[in-house]
Structure 1
């Protein structure tokens, strides 16, 4: 790379809207404030409401630059709590609002459904990429093994149970060694087996950890046990920097959600509640525009929390 191109690349993160667009006031874009602004031709500007200020702040944080590559692992010791849904929506939100490259990788050894939920295309999988890894010299070479959901690229897991065990730690690390050359953010949808070899590779490379649970007795206890296991195996720093997601598709009036949330807030960097959403509950293809506003805002909050760690020094993976 020439000196000129290196300089341009180093400055590329500075050309943001905030940096180059002249100040034009805080024009509301949602709700009655936006309607009043447009009806009066801009003569009356009520300013931004609290919700819109919060949303704009989250978007600003999400767009933070990443030096190199940031790897996010979404995990849970329990299946059926929404781990793949969280991985999919997080990937869609980051890809939608960032200007760089984001990829979601399904590392589930048991025929994961990430690609099903995002693109419906599982004809080419991570196994195919592994078989031809030595010829992956460019982004176009890598894209042969991915499918596209909006701006998010998706790398499907192996769907044949007889072949899925071949994707072990060594395979995961080989794939990531290629992906980190071309992508700024890598989201790994991990399997539920924390002792699986591929999970060892995921934890060895992770910069940010997301643990998914639910505000139920089993969902909360399994999420807490996931954190316990990680601490016991040397990942205390990763746990302290983790974000816990509570998927509220399942909840009970007998469970105190404040106590559940307080438990995880005392152990991790942040907690995000994902409200029940009929679109997500159907189990079909996920489309951001079909999410309820509250659900979309919750995933913006999750993405912003994780983006707060972009550009900074990641915590040591092992304490």
Structure 2
């Protein structure tokens, strides 16, 4: 007992304090061997441990080695290759038991905070569920181009909540008596489509010529009826010019209001406004304006190509559409001047074998004289100028003419007693069938308003 007391208080190690002994004590959980300078219980220093035994203590037991997975990287580096477990991708490595001087359990590190999931890309459509959103590739400005989003809405169909009531027929009377609205009939929908085609915008001033090689086929009547239909439906300024050098009567059929002629217009050098032009024209009930030619008995010369070009250069600044009522010949100077500026053509023929032959000659002449493109923008009118059944198969004639002009551009006009009277033509007095055919003719010519070809 005294020996132990002396060794405890008189040995050089007795000068060390208890705190210094604690500092030298290895921390818990470290796989280290106690240093030879002291023991945790203050006993004598143990003898050094053999290297083989230290290696055996550091190596994990065999049961731990068998269940270690090579994926986790926890197999000892000195494990023989024969004892390594093959990588099957399905084994989990257990936690190694704590080793150390005090055999205290190691504190596990706190789990890392979960990273927030990336926000899903914004949906292309508002109100779409989040789980149905699909990632979209970013669109560059070059790929998008200069198209505006508001322009695309013009192609979106919109349903009206209120149906338009019918204006004629039994549907109209049913709506008037019972307020039951069945909507428009098929014929009324077709008429609305014709009006929409006629209201197309015509760039610059669009010129239309009305031709016929034979006199008495109704060129003037077709010009007045066509111009009146265009003016009443479109609502813009439309002028018809009498280009017949043989004393045309366009102003008489449209309703003469002014005694001025085209010669008076060309002699005026102070034409700066629309009202200056309006002083030389006549206007009918459909707002169609007419510029008459000189009286045949008082005319000093015939209407030529220079008169036409000069007149159209003046009126094209104030009128959207200009119609020309031409004579019976294609070799006349006035007819050549009209053909040089018009963008559309109407070939009028009577419902007879003689009138059909003259219309065929006109189409052949246009094709052989460099007006092939103009023939593609032409319409053929087969006009019944006399009552009764004609001496020609009209349906067969329509099929023959449709081989030379686009489909839907051969119009058959019935005989109308208001036209046959020879007086002023009014749309309200025309027959229902005649009026509808004139509207179809106007719609066919209006289909060319947005074409690039111009004369």
Normalised TM-score (structure 1): 0.88
Is 1:24 aligned to 2:162, yes or no? yes
Matched, 1:281 2:420: yes
Q: Which has the larger radius of gyration?
A: 2
Identify the residue that residue 103 of structure 1 maps to in structure 2.
239
Pick which of 50-59 and 167-176 moved more.
50-59
Match of 2:57 in 1: none
What is the aligned partner in structure 2 of residue 37 from structure 1? Answer: 175
Query: What's the counterpart of residue 61 of structure 1?
Result: 197
Q: Would the alpha carbon gap of residues 208 and 49 (structure 1) be closer, same or farther in structure 2, given more than 3 Å must change?
A: same
Inter-CA distance 55–186: structure 2 relative to 1 (3 Å threshold) = same
Pick from 259, 263, 278: which aligns with 2:396?
Answer: 259
Partner of 2:411: 272
Q: Which residue of 1 aligns with 2:255?
A: 119
Contact 1:72 1:206 (8 Å CA) reproduced: yes
- Corresponding residue for residue 274 of structure 2: 139
Q: What's 1:12 paired with?
A: none
Does the 8 A contact of 2:258 with 2:281 survive in 1?
Answer: no
CA gap 1:138/1:29 in 2 versus in 1, 3 angstroms: same
Deviations 1:65-119 (A, max 9, x none): 1222111101111110000000000000001111211111111111111100011
CA distance in 2, matches of 1:31, 1:117: 32
Moved more, 29-38 or 180-189: 29-38
Matched residues in 1 for 2:291 and 2:390: separation? 39
Identify the structure with bigger relative contact order (alpha carbons < 8 Å, sequence gap 6+): 1
Distance 1:169-1:23 versus aligned 2 partners, 3 A rule: farther
What displacement does 1:164 show?
6.1
* Residue 240 of structure 1 pairs with residue 379 of structure 2: no
TM-superposed CA distance for 1:24, in Å, is: 3.2
Deviation at 1:45, TM superposition (A): 2.2
Deviation at 1:144, TM superposition (A): 1.1
Three-state SS of the structure 1 residue aligned to 2:280 is: coil
Shift of 1:305: 0.7
DSSP 3-state at the match of 2:382? strand
Is the 8 Å Cα contact of residues 110 and 161 (structure 1) preserved in structure 2?
Answer: no
Whether contact under 8 Å (2:353, 2:391) holds in the other structure is no
- Which of 439, 450, 454 is residue 300 of structure 1 equivalent to? 439
Check the 8 A contact 2:344/2:374 in 1, yes or no.
yes
1:217 to 353, 362, 370: 353
Q: Distance in 2 between matches of 1:258 and 1:236?
A: 25
Count of aligned pairs: 295
Deviations 1:174-225 (A, max 9, x none): 0000111000011111111211111111000011100000221111111111
| Inter-partner Cα distance in structure 1 for 2:328 and 2:374 | 18
Distance 1:254-1:76 versus aligned 2 partners, 3 A rule: closer
Q: Is the 8 A contact 2:377 2:445 kept in 1?
A: no
Residue 311 (structure 2) pairs with residue 175 (structure 1): yes
**Residue 85 (structure 1) aligns with:** 221
Which blocks of at least 5 consecutive residues in structure 1 are unaligned? 1-18
- 5+ residue gaps, structure 2: 1-156
Q: How does 1:5-20 map to 2 (within 5 A)?
A: none
1:122 and 1:222 map into 2 onto residues whose CA distance is: 34
Using the TM superposition, give the Cα deviation of residue 253 of structure 1 relative to its aligned residue in structure 2, in angstroms. 4.6
Sort the Cα spacing of 1:252 and 1:178 in 2 relative to 1 into closer, same or farther, 3 A.
Answer: same
Q: Distance in 1 between matches of 2:189 and 2:250?
A: 32
CA contact (8 A) 1:119 1:147 kept: yes
Q: Tell whether the 8 Å contact from 1:111 to 1:164 is kept in structure 2 after alignment.
A: no
**Secondary structure of residue in 2 paired with 1:135:** coil
Decide whether aligned partners of structure 1 residues 204 and 29 sit closer, same or farther in structure 2, where only a CA change above 3 A counts: same
The question of whether the paired residues in 2 share the 8 Å contact of 1:109 and 1:164 is answered with: no
The structure carrying a bigger helix percent of its residues is 1
